[in-house]
């Protein structure tokens, strides 16, 4: 059975590659916001939106006006435009709200590029990405299947990740011919119909005191920056503490996801 499967790995880019990733994210955001503004104006005037093909043709002319757009991966810019078109398609079908402008203040920043002519490949413990070259990654398992796309993401903690989507053939698990009932609760995370109880993981409680302490530091540094008339984006101490708090939140999230994945996999297999 052919399916699309995603692999997620942590990236370890060099300083130059980090700058290039930030530049690509910024250019993708610029293209998205630019055409979103045009799309909104056209929709207000005519009640209809633009088309992806029309915007794609205009993007070519836009690169002549803004030369710096040529420095980054062109497929990433096209992907940003395609995402905008898809968002409006779902909006007109009343499947979601109208797309909103992207901000550089968003916690998660990313861009997506497509695989063409083997421009994305895994080589040993590195991944080859368009215009970015070979980037070191923590390859925890082998990637099986034909690579379709890759999304480079920068988390609030400052860590970089890549999500690789592949087309691969998977075999369904053998049927166990058994079933079980699951009751999710508060005191216990879950109670199974065979009498087993799954305890709530206490990692959130263990991190609670540390999180409160670091968040109080963050609030004080935000107040100090405000009293000194500084923009929070320019306040280095605030930004440093903000990343420290984000890393703690990320650690709790990873622990919770690990617990849920192991539990759900055990239930599904058995």
Q: What is the DSSP string of 248-259?
A: HHHHHHHHHHHH
* Arithmetic mean of pLDDT over the chain: 90
217 and 100 within one domain: no
Q: Is the sign of the CA dihedral 97, 103, 109, 114 positive or negative?
A: positive
67/157 same-domain check:
yes
Structural domain contains residue 181:
no
Give domain status of residue 190, yes or no: no
- Give the number of domains in the chain: 2
Residue 93, helix vs strand vs coil: coil
Instruction: Identify whether residues 255 and 145 lie together within a single domain.
Output: no
How far is 188 from 173, CA to CA, in rounded Å? 29
Residue 186 is assigned to a structural domain of this protein: no
| CB of 23 closer than 8 Å to CB of 104 | no
pLDDT one-digit tens code per residue, 154-177: 998 889 999 999 999 988 888 888
The verdict on 121 and 246 lying in the same domain is: no
How many CA atoms within 13 Å lie on the side-chain side of 256?
11
- Per-residue pLDDT band at 204 (split at 50, 70, 90): low
Residues 106 and 237 in one domain: no
Residue 143 pLDDT > 80, yes or no? yes
Mean pLDDT, residues 41-48 taken together: 83
Same domain flag for 154 and 205: no
Strands ordered across the beta sheet of 126-129: 109-114, 146-154, 160-169, 2-12, 133-137, 126-129, 121-123
87: containing domain: 2-169
| pLDDT of 83 over the 90 cut | yes
Q: Sorting pLDDT into bands at 50, 70 and 90, what band is 252?
A: confident
pLDDT at 132: 93
Could you list the beta-strand ranges (E) of 115-234.
121-123, 126-129, 133-137, 146-154, 160-169, 182-184, 188-192, 197-199
- Is there a single domain that holds both residue 39 and residue 124? yes
Domain boundary (169, 193, 213) is at 169
**Residue 206 and residue 146 share a domain:** no
Are residues 124 and 19 part of one domain?
Answer: yes
Q: Is residue 113 part of a domain?
A: yes
Which residues are CB-contacts of 231 (< 8 A; sequence separation ≥ 6)? 225
Most confident by average pLDDT, 16-25, 41-50, 100-109, 201-210: 16-25
Q: How many percent of the chain have pLDDT more than 70? A: 99
Does residue 11 sit in the same domain as residue 134?
A: yes
> Is residue 240 assigned to a domain?
yes
Any idea how long the chain is? 270
Instruction: Note whether residue 176 is domain-resident.
Output: no
Is the pLDDT assigned to residue 202 strictly greater than 80?
no
pLDDT for res 208: 80
Using the 3D structure, point to which of 151, 169, 187 is the last residue of a domain. 169
Flag whether 97 is in a domain: yes
The mean pLDDT value for 191-218 works out to: 84
For residue 189, tell me if it sits in a domain.
no
Claim to verify: residue 109 and residue 20 sit in the same structural domain: yes
Residues 125 and 165 in one domain: yes
Q: Which helix (H) or strand (E) holds 3?
A: strand 2-12
């Amino acid at each position: 059975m052919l399916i699309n499967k995603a692999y997620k790995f942590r990236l370890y880019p060099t300083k130059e590659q980090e700058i290039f990733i930030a530049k690509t994210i910024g250019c993708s955001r610029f293209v998205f916001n630019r055409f979103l503004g045009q799309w909104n104006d056209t929709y207000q005037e005519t009640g209809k939106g633009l088309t992806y093909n029309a915007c794609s043709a205009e993007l070519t002319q836009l690169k002549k006006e803004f030369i710096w757009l040529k420095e980054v991966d062109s497929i990433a810019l096209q992907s940003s435009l395609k995402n905008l078109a898809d968002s409006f398609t779902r909006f007109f079908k009343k499947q979601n709200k109208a797309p909103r402008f992207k901000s550089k203040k968003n916690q998660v920043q990313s861009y997506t590029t497509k695989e063409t002519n083997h421009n994305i490949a895994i080589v040993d413990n590195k991944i080859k990405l368009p215009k970015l070259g070979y980037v070191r990654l923590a390859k925890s398992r082998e990637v099986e299947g034909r690579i379709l796309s890759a999304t480079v993401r920068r988390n609030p903690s400052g860590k970089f990740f890549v999500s690789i989507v592949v087309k691969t053939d998977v075999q369904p698990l053998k049927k166990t011919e058994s079933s079980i009932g699951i009751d999710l609760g508060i005191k216990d995370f879950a109670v199974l119909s065979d009498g087993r109880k799954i305890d709530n993981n206490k990692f959130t409680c263990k991190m609670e005191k540390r999180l409160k302490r670091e968040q109080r530091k963050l609030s004080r540094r935000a107040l100090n920056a405000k009293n000194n008339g500084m923009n929070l984006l320019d306040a280095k101490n605030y930004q440093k503490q903000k990343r420290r708090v984000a890393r703690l939140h990320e650690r709790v999230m990873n622990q919770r996801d690990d617990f849920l994945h192991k539990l759900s996999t055990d239930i599904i297999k058995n």
